[in-house]
Amino acid sequence: MSTRRTADPREVACIESQVDVLRRLQFPGVVPLEGFDRQGDTVTIQLGDDLPPLGEQPPGSAAECAALGAALSRTIGEVHRAGYVHCDLRSDTVLVDTGGRPLLSGFDRATVATPKARREDLRALVALLTGVLALLSTTDRADERRCRRRLARALRPRRHSDTFELAFALAELAADFDEKAPASTPASVDSPAGPPTDDLRSRINSGATLPHRWALPTLLLLLSVVGIIYVVGADRESRPVLAPDGPIVEFDGQRYQVGRPGDVAVVGDWAVDDGGCNGSSTVVLLRPETGELFAFSGWAETGELVASRLGTHRDAVDLAVVTGGCDELLVVDDGDLRTPVVVG
Q: What is the pTM of this model?
A: 0.58
Query: Do 198 and 66 belong together in one domain?
Result: yes
CB-based contacts of 167, cutoff 8 Å, min separation 6: 69, 70, 71, 73, 74, 77, 223, 227
Residues 289, 309: contact at Cβ < 8 Å? no
- Does the residue 278 lie in any domain? yes
Q: So what's the pLDDT on residue 344? A: 64
- Does the residue 125 lie in any domain? yes
**What is the rounded distance in angstroms from the CA atom of residue 177 to the CA atom of residue 148?**
10
**What is the rounded distance in angstroms from the CA atom of residue 64 to the CA atom of residue 100?**
8
DSSP states along 142-158 = HHHHHHHHHHHHHT-TT
Q: pLDDT class for 120, splitting at 50, 70, 90?
A: very high
Query: Do 199 and 114 belong together in one domain?
Result: yes
Integer angstrom CA distances of residue 272 from 68, 171, 229, 277, 307:
32, 28, 21, 6, 17
Query: Do 250 and 278 belong together in one domain?
Result: yes
Query: Do 148 and 93 belong together in one domain?
Result: yes
Query: Do 85 and 191 belong together in one domain?
Result: yes
Report the range out of 196-200, 243-247, 332-336 with the highest average pLDDT. Answer: 332-336
Query: Do 29 and 85 belong together in one domain?
Result: no
Choice between 182 and 324, residue whose per-residue pLDDT is larger: 324
- Does the residue 53 lie in any domain? no
Q: So what's the pLDDT on residue 190? A: 38
Q: So what's the pLDDT on residue 2? A: 83
Indicate which CATH number applies to the domain containing 12. Answer: 3.30.200.20
Q: Tell me the per-residue pLDDT of 155-177, one tens digit each, with 9 for 90 and over.
A: 987 778 888 889 888 988 888 88
- Does the residue 316 lie in any domain? yes
Query: Do 242 and 337 belong together in one domain?
Result: yes
Is beta strand 254-257 parallel, antiparallel or unpaired with respect to 248-251?
antiparallel
Lowest pLDDT segment from 25-39, 71-85, 134-148: 25-39
Query: Do 43 and 69 belong together in one domain?
Result: no
Query: Do 126 and 10 belong together in one domain?
Result: no
Choice between 183 and 111, residue whose per-residue pLDDT is larger: 111
Query: Do 197 and 174 belong together in one domain?
Result: yes
> What are the beta bridge partners of residue 327?
270
- Does the residue 212 lie in any domain? no
- Does the residue 132 lie in any domain? yes
Mean pLDDT score of the chain, rounded to an integer?
75
Query: Do 156 and 76 belong together in one domain?
Result: yes
Does residue 51 register a pLDDT over 70?
yes
**What is the rounded distance in angstroms from the CA atom of residue 308 to the CA atom of residue 328?**
18
Choice between 302 and 56, residue whose per-residue pLDDT is larger: 56
Indicate which CATH number applies to the domain containing 96. Answer: 1.10.510.10
Lowest pLDDT segment from 8-17, 229-238, 285-294: 229-238
Q: Which domain holds residue 41?
A: 2-47
Q: Domain tally for the chain?
A: 3
Q: So what's the pLDDT on residue 247? A: 63
Q: Tell me the per-residue pLDDT of 81-94, one tens digit each, with 9 for 90 and over.
A: 889 999 999 999 99
- Does the residue 218 lie in any domain? no
Query: Do 177 and 107 belong together in one domain?
Result: yes
